[in-house]
Amino acid sequence: MSDAGAPTWRLPPRWVLLVAVLSIVAAEVGGGAMARFKVELTRWARDGMLARPGVHGLVGVRDVDERILDEALVKFDAGLRLFHMHAEGMGLVIIATSMVAATVIQRAAARRAIIALLTVGGAGYPVGYLAWSALIPAYGLERSKAIAEWLVWVPFGTATIVALWGLVGCVAWTMLARRRA
């Protein structure tokens, strides 16, 4: 920083940066694969759904079934898109917020805990969208969403939110302590 006496940014541990970059790489690969293999992915999902008509409520009437299949395929595609978007975004969020935590939080235990939660939560959360998409053909829309929600989105999302508000508290505390000193 240019201000005299102001601290410079501290880097978080190397593994945190690696996880963040891997998340961005996975997002890029996911985005590329979505575009390149759109037809193959759609065919795979459609075949999976047709193989389990009971799960998806298919009745054997073309007009009805096509509507159900279309809706499920839109959700399947949305899950892949949301994975792409969230993995890119959360990779950047991990880098930015873990730098703030590494720079601002003085207590080692608190710093380690918040950085770990930010990294694990941030990298894990987008995987839920991938899991949701992958599970739709086998489990149907609602069940796959519930599985992704309780196994991935709730735990990893909660970790991120708790860590971010903890970081907000630490930054505010540091500002107050500096003003008092």
Partner 1 sequence: MLALGETAGAAMSRLKPEIERYAAGRVAANPGAHGFSGSAEYDDEVRERAVFTAEAGLSFFHLHGEGVGLVLFFASSLVAAVVPGRRARAALYALLTFGGLFPIGYVVYGAAVLELGRDAGVELAERWILAPLGLAAIAGLVGLAFALARPRV
Q: By CB under 8 A, what part of segment 75-94 binds partner 1? A: 89, 92-93
* Cβ-based nearer residue to partner 1, 48 or 97: 97
Report how far residue 40's alpha carbon sits from residue 159's, in angstroms, rounded to the nearest whole number: 35
Binding mask 6-45 for partner 1 (x = CB under 8 A): x--x------------------------------------
Residue selected from 15, 37, 150, 165 as contacting partner 1 according to rule CB under 8 A: 165
Question: Per CB under 8 A, does 2 bind partner 1?
Answer: yes
Judged by CB under 8 A, which stretch of 2-10, 21-29, 69-77, 132-140 contacts partner 1?
2-10
Question: Per CB under 8 A, does 100 bind partner 1?
Answer: yes
Judged by CB under 8 A, which stretch of 43-51, 52-60, 64-72, 165-173 contacts partner 1?
165-173
**Residue 126: partners with Cβ closer than 8 Å, 6 or more residues away:** 23, 26, 27, 82, 83, 86, 87, 90
Report how far residue 71's alpha carbon sits from residue 67's, in angstroms, rounded to the nearest whole number: 6
User: Interhelix angle for 62-104 vs 108-124, to 10°?
Assistant: 160
Question: Per CB under 8 A, does 109 bind partner 1?
Answer: no
**Least Å from the CB of residue 170 to partner 1:** 12
User: In a 3-state reduction of DSSP, which class is residue 6?
Assistant: coil
Question: Per CB under 8 A, does 63 bind partner 1?
Answer: no
Length of the chain: 181
3-state helix/strand/coil string of 88-151? HHHHHHHHHHHHHHHHHCCCHHHHHHHHHHHHHHHHHCCHHHHHHHHHHHHHCHHHHHHHHHHH
Site residues, partner 1 (CB under 8 A): 1-3, 6, 9, 89, 92-93, 96-97, 100, 149, 153, 157-158, 160-161, 164-165, 167-168
